[in-house]
Amino acid sequence: MKRTVFYLFAVLVGWSYRAAGQSVSTGVLYSNFGPGETFDTDPTHGWGINGFLGPNILQQGIAEKFIPATTDTFTSAQLALEFITPGSVLVSLHTDADGRPGAILEQIAVPGLTTGPTVRSAASVVRPLLQAGSTYWLSVVAGGPGLLAGWIWNSIGDVSTLENCAATFDGIAAGPWFPGCFIAPGPNGIRSAFQINGRAQRDFAFSALQAGVEVRTTRARSEAEGRFTLGDASDGIDPSADDVSFQIGSFSGTIPNGSFQVDPFTGLFRFDGLVAGARVEAEIAPVAAAPRTFTFEIEVKNVDVAAGANAVTVQLAIGNDTGTTTAPVESKAR
């Protein structure tokens, strides 16, 4: 391994709970693995990653550029790694800043024992949305002093250039980053093997959605209640990790992922906060006697969503599961 040339460090740690009890389908947004996640298994073929090893020894990290094939939620990264000493690496997802790794969107710790080259997975907790055609970077740096590892090369001939690979020698994902990963005296090195996964984001329609709306005209408070059933193709929902968007008549908004709190005993998801400038309380709960069916309540304070109408549109989207219906409105003075 060319451990004297470059080193790499990154941290990725996380887990995801699906309320419907199903696994999350994944779509590959970028990959330079060969078929079946193959890579160059020669343990001497890779960029070195190291923490503090002693005076005058640089702490190298490596970053690789990628452009997502489609717009989707980042769910995980897979990397070909070798741990020469036990410890952890830090894997970071960056925006692009003038052709180099920029702001860190997420950092995940990946622990490892001393092993040969193998594919390691880093699961996202933040789950940022990646835009098709935009440039991002994945970096790896050491997780602590004494760590020595390698980010193993791909086997498909994906070579490094000044534009698609960068190195840092300060041992932190914030950089500074310098363009290029090269092996003297040749003009190019080989890019490390990695894959960026998304949720295979496409909309799954609810198989059923019923809702009713109540408006308190005196206090200008609106509430939608109802229930929905997930479609057969759905991979499940997790309101605590998914964006939850809704429309009730004239009011619409999005509750960002991570905002709902879940009761681990009942499975009830609850939110209380500001959405689009209004105070919103929301609950989503599984129906024990009806598989893949949930009830929901969304209350918007100080907003009359109907303005005298007898029926309004109600739309609910949880992650990529969505439904729309026309709901009757009951208006009350108090």
DSSP 238-268: -TTTS-EEEEETTEEEEE-TT--EE-TTT--
Instruction: From 272, 208, 278, select the one nearest 249 (Cα to Cα).
Output: 278
DSSP state of 114: S
pTM above 0.85, yes or no: no
Q: Do domains 27-198 and 204-332 have the same CATH topology?
A: no
Q: What is the pLDDT of residues 29-69, one digit of tens each?
A: 999 999 988 999 888 888 999 888 888 888 899 999 999 98
Which residues, other chains included, contact 170 with Cβ-Cβ below 8 Å and sequence gap of 6+? 59, 61, 176
Report d(CA 101, CA 123) in Å as an integer: 20
Token duo for residue 189: 């090195």
pLDDT for position 7: 29
How far CA 158 is from CA of 8, 101, 210, 279, in Å, comes to: 18, 19, 52, 51
Domain 204-332 class in CATH: mainly beta
Q: What is the pLDDT of residues 99-136, one digit of tens each?
A: 999 999 999 998 876 678 888 888 888 888 888 899 99
Local confidence pLDDT in tens for the 334 residues of the chain: 333 333 232 222 222 223 333 333 458 899 999 998 899 988 888 899 988 888 888 889 999 999 998 888 888 899 999 999 988 899 999 999 999 999 999 999 988 766 788 888 888 888 888 888 999 999 999 999 999 999 999 999 999 889 999 999 999 999 999 998 865 444 468 999 999 998 765 668 899 999 999 998 777 899 999 999 999 888 788 898 888 989 999 998 889 888 999 998 888 999 999 988 899 999 999 998 888 999 999 999 999 999 889 999 999 999 878 899 999 999 887 6
Strand pairing report for 321-332 and 204-205: parallel
pLDDT for position 26: 53
pLDDT for position 135: 96
C-alpha 14, offset from chain centre: 10
Fold of 27-198: Jelly Rolls (2.60.120)
Q: Show me where the domains of the chain are located.
A: 27-198, 204-332
pLDDT for position 185: 44
Instruction: From 54, 68, 84, 65, select the one nearest 151 (Cα to Cα).
Output: 84
The answer to whether the bond into 179 is cis (omega within 30° of 0) is: no
pLDDT for position 12: 23
